[in-house]
């Protein structure tokens, strides 16, 4: 049994949550659906830890689905980079579920709860699948599984606020355009190489890297995925989707969806295409780097003027994505590992912040900032979580946000780009402004009415505080994240799919 | 590449020209039309164009449908793009139906499917929300 699980662990991490989605629907009872989905995500989480532990030294696992050898068969390929992202997704998935159970009670109609769990599991499966697969077209398939269920999840917020529907519609249109661009890009590189397996692609592309088809494919893939990542000018769908979706969905989306799409960009830019291709270095320097800087400042400025706390956090997400892209465009090991560390830290921080805001919405029914006046006394634990999360967003020492900004800055110093390092600090100063606005409202203002607001229920507080404590823990014990991120970055910068040794799994099943 | 206009090249890639025209038509409709329903139709057109790209690239000149009957040496088209596009068709149908379902809900709650009017209602709701909380005018704690 154990050896079976071990031999099929990459597949099981995807198949268990996939099967649980129809099971949720079949039983049609929300308690059963909750139990099934929690068990499935927990299994997926355990397998992700197991996989990460297996590949932590740079080993690569190649799982042949159905025993068909790649490049003909579909391959699941686990290396340090995507095992790390798998861990982020599954950990956030596991923490969001118990939170969701309480938070959806007043946000979604009771007879839609099983549907919520089913969509949530499909979304989770899609994100895990995108991360683990080693087949370029399979990325598209899983991406659409996750995107389609995400549109539904966002639209479920319509019970509270009908703007969720128009937000979901915008997201659907832009997300589909992005995914379709991605497929056209894949079509181009398939035309040029005749293969869709990523390893195979990475071996065939260098010889024809001057071909215009290959370059057009690159552009389409980056723009298509850029829409999903919400790279600065392509972020229009994000604020609406994060603001009006149910709290639990905001938490899960903010901490995983954009990170996974960013991982796909990293995978295609560094492994399938190589950073050594001349046109790619130019793209990084003249397109991605300026956009990242504009995102860091522009989106932060917009965040300062938001009156809705959820929307403020959404704009802050756009600016944080700028940091990750900045790390990538430095094109050195430190920069790429900085991007990975920031992905991990930002997932925890933003997850915790959205959870805390969700708890306030649960008690007061509104995410408008002036409504929260004086809540620091009435909801002390929730408010404290927002403060610590905010400090991590700024990057105050001993919080996780500090670690990633430190790595990013040292990467900029290594390239001798002093200006960039100063800009990282400058953008953090704007974060101080918008975080301070929240703290001021929570602690330094009189409560609005005599209405007594109770502290959030434990089922909302516990997941929030688990994330806050991990944020602090990884702020003080940075080795964990930096260790994995550096191993991943070293492999990525080398280009291709090199690793220490490749272990092939799943062959004996045939 | 010695001539500026190569008629043979241009005509030989007829499928791809049609793909480009169809794709851009779809994208244009998505961007330019204000009616949510028309946008979805444009989006569908945009996706269908991609099917055409994939099917075209799978064509082997002189090849038949990739079905093995008796002669294993028969020339046949590349079946892989066909299979890929089957998946993409399913995705396209799912996207279109979900988009239409959302439009039905939008029509029920907003009473319109014109993007301008939906946006206006959204902005009005936001303005109302802001006006409501601005009235609260909280006092500073240290002033009390």
CATH number of the domain encompassing residue B107: 1.10.287.3510
Q: Does B110 touch chain A (CB under 8 A)?
A: yes
The pLDDT assigned to A296 comes to: 93
A389 SS3 class: helix
* Structural domain contains residue B32: yes
**Res A468 pLDDT > 50:** yes
| Closest approach of A163 to chain B, Cα-based (Å) | 6
A135 SS3 class: strand
Are residues B39 and A190, on separate chains, in Cβ contact within 8 Å? no
**Res A364 pLDDT > 50:** yes
Cis amide leading into A234 (omega within 30): no
For the residues A165-182, what does the mean pLDDT come to? 95
For residues B2 and A409, which has the higher predicted lDDT (pLDDT)?
A409
For residues A384 and B9, which has the higher predicted lDDT (pLDDT)?
A384
Q: Which residue in A has a C-alpha nearest to residue B48's C-alpha?
A: A180
* Phi, then psi, of A78 in degrees rounded to 5: -110, 120
CB atoms within 10 A of CB A332: 16
Between CA A396 and CA A406, with CA A401 as vertex, the angle to 5 degrees is 85
Let me know: does A197 contact A136? Beta carbons within 8 Å.
Answer: yes
pLDDT in tens, A72-102: 889 999 988 999 999 999 999 999 999 999 9
**Res A444 pLDDT > 80:** yes
* Structural domain contains residue B72: no
The pLDDT assigned to B143 comes to: 44
Let me know: does A455 contact A382? Beta carbons within 8 Å.
Answer: yes
Predicted confidence band of residue A350 (pLDDT cuts 50, 70, 90): very high
A98 SS3 class: helix
Dihedral through CA A153, CA A154, CA A156, CA A162, nearest 10?
-170
The pLDDT assigned to A183 comes to: 95
Contacts of A158 in chain B (CB under 8 A): 105, 109
pLDDT in tens, A255-280: 999 999 999 999 999 988 887 787 88
Residues in Cβ contact with B108 at an 8 Å cutoff, skipping those fewer than 6 apart? none
Going from N- to C-terminal start, the domains of chain A cover 288-494
Contacts of A165 in chain B (CB under 8 A): 102, 105-106, 109-110
| Closest approach of B133 to chain A, Cα-based (Å) | 6
Residues in Cβ contact with A287 at an 8 Å cutoff, skipping those fewer than 6 apart? none
Are residues B57 and A190, on separate chains, in Cβ contact within 8 Å? yes
Contacts of B102 in chain A (CB under 8 A): 151, 155, 165, 168-169, 172
One pLDDT digit (tens) per residue for chain B, 144 residues: 556 777 887 887 888 899 999 999 999 999 999 999 999 999 999 999 999 999 988 888 888 888 877 777 888 888 889 889 999 999 999 999 999 999 999 999 999 999 999 999 999 999 998 888 877 765 555 544
Rounded Cα distance, A128 and A125, in Å: 5
Give chain A's mean pLDDT. Answer: 90
Interface with chain A: mutation pick from B102, B115, B129, highest number of A CBs within 10 Å: B102
**Res A69 pLDDT > 50:** yes
What is this model's ipTM? 0.91
Output the CA–CA distances (angstroms, integers) from residue A36 to A2, A31, A119, in the order listed: 21, 9, 13
Contacts of B142 in chain A (CB under 8 A): 444
Please choose, from the candidates A255, A431, A230, A258, the residue with its C-alpha nearest in 3D space to the C-alpha of residue A349: A255
- The domain of B27 spans 7-61+77-114
Are residues B53 and A165, on separate chains, in Cβ contact within 8 Å? no
pTM, full prediction: 0.94
A194 SS3 class: coil
The pLDDT assigned to A450 comes to: 63
* Structural domain contains residue B37: yes
Q: A35 exposed, middle or buried (CB, 10 Å; 0-12, 13-18, 19+)? A: middle
CB atoms within 10 A of CB B6: 11
Please choose, from the candidates A410, A223, A440, A403, the residue with its C-alpha nearest in 3D space to the C-alpha of residue A333: A410
The pLDDT assigned to A68 comes to: 85
Are residues A151 and B138, on separate chains, in Cβ contact within 8 Å? no
C-alpha dihedral sign at A326, A330, A332, A335: negative
Are residues A144 and B133, on separate chains, in Cβ contact within 8 Å? no
**What totals of helices (H) and strands (E) does chain B contain, helices first?**
5, 0
The pLDDT assigned to B140 comes to: 54
Between CA A52 and CA A59, with CA A56 as vertex, the angle to 5 degrees is 105
The pLDDT assigned to B144 comes to: 41
Number of domains, chain B: 1
* Structural domain contains residue B123: no
Let me know: does A303 contact A319? Beta carbons within 8 Å.
Answer: yes
Strand pairing category for A502-505 and A75-78: unpaired
Distance of CA A80 to the CA centre of its chain: 16
Contacts of A190 in chain B (CB under 8 A): 57, 81
Q: Where are the beta strands (DSSP E) in chain B?
A: none
């Amino acid at each position: 049994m154990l050896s079976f699980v071990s031999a099929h662990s990459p597949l099981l991490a995807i198949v268990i949550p996939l099967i649980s989605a129809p099971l949720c629907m079949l039983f049609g009872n929300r308690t059963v659906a909750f139990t099934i989905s929690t068990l499935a995500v927990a299994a997926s989480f355990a397998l992700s830890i197991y996989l990460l532990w297996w590949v932590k030294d740079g080993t690569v696992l190649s799982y042949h689905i159905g025993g068909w050898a790649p490049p003909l068969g579909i391959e699941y390929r686990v290396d340090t980079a995507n095992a790390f992202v798998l861990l982020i997704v599954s950990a956030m998935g596991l923490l969001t579920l118990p939170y969701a159970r309480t938070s959806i009670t007043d946000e979604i109609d009771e007879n839609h709860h099983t549907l919520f769990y089913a969509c949530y599991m499909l979304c989770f499966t899609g994100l895990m699948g995108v991360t683990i697969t080693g087949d370029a077209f399979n990325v598209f398939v899983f991406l659409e599984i996750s995107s389609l269920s995400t549109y539904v999840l966002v639209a479920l917020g319509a019970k509270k606020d009908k703007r969720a529907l128009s937000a979901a519609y915008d997201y659907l249109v832009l997300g589909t355009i992005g995914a379709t661009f991605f497929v056209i890009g894949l079509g181009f590189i398939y035309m040029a190489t005749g293969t869709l397996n990523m390893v195979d692609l990475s071996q065939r592309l260098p010889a024809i890297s001057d071909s215009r088809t290959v370059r057009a494919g690159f552009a389409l893939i980056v723009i298509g995925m850029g829409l999903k990542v919400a790279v600065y000018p392509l972020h229009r769908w994000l604020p609406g989707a994060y603001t009006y979706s149910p709290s639990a969905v905001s938490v899960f989306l903010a901490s995983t969806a954009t990170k996974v799409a960013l991982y796909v960009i990293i995978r295609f830019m560094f492994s399938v295409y190589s950073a050594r291709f001349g046109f790619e270095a130019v793209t990084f320097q003249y397109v991605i780097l300026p956009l990242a800087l504009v995102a860091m400042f522009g989106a932060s400025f917009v965040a300062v003027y938001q009156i809705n706390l959820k929307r403020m956090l959404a704009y802050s997400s756009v600016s944080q994505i700028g940091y990750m892209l900045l790390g990538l465009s430095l094109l050195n090991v430190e920069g790429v590992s900085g991007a990975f560390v920031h992905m991990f830290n930002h997932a925890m921080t933003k997850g915790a912040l959205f959870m805390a805001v969700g708890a306030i919405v649960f008690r007061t029914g509104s995410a408008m900032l002036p409504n929260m006046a004086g809540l620091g006394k009435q909801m002390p634990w929730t408010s404290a979580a927002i403060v610590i999360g905010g400090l991590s967003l700024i990057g105050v020492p001993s919080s996780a946000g500090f670690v990633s900004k430190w790595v990013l800055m040292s990467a900029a110093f290594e390239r001798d780009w002093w200006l960039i390092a100063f800009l990282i600090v400058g953008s953090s100063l704007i974060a101080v402004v918008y975080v301070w606005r929240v703290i001021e409202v929570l602690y330094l203002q009189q409560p609005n009415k005599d209405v007594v607001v109770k502290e959030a229920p434990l089922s909302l507080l516990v997941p929030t505080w688990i994330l806050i404590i991990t944020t602090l823990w990884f702020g003080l014990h940075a080795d964990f994240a930096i260790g994995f991120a550096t191993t991943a970055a070293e492999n990525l910068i080398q280009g291709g799919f090199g690793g220490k040794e490749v272990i092939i799994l799943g062959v004996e099943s045939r | 590449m010695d001539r500026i206009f190569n008629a043979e090249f241009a005509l030989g890639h007829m499928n791809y020209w049609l793909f480009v025209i169809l794709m851009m038509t779809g994208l244009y409709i998505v961007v330019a039309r204000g009616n949510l329903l028309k946008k979805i139709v444009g989006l569908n057109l945009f996706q269908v164009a991609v099917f055409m790209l994939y099917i075209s690239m799978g064509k082997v000149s002189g090849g038949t449908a990739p079905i093995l009957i008796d002669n294993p040496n028969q020339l046949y088209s590349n079946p892989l793009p066909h299979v890929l596009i089957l998946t993409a068709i399913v995705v396209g149908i799912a996207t279109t139906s979900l988009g239409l379902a959302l439009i039905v809900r939008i029509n029920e709650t907003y009473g319109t499917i014109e993007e301008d009017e939906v946006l206006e209602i959204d902005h009005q709701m936001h303005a109302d929300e802001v006006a409501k909380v601005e009235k609260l005018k909280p006092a500073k704690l240290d002033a009390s």
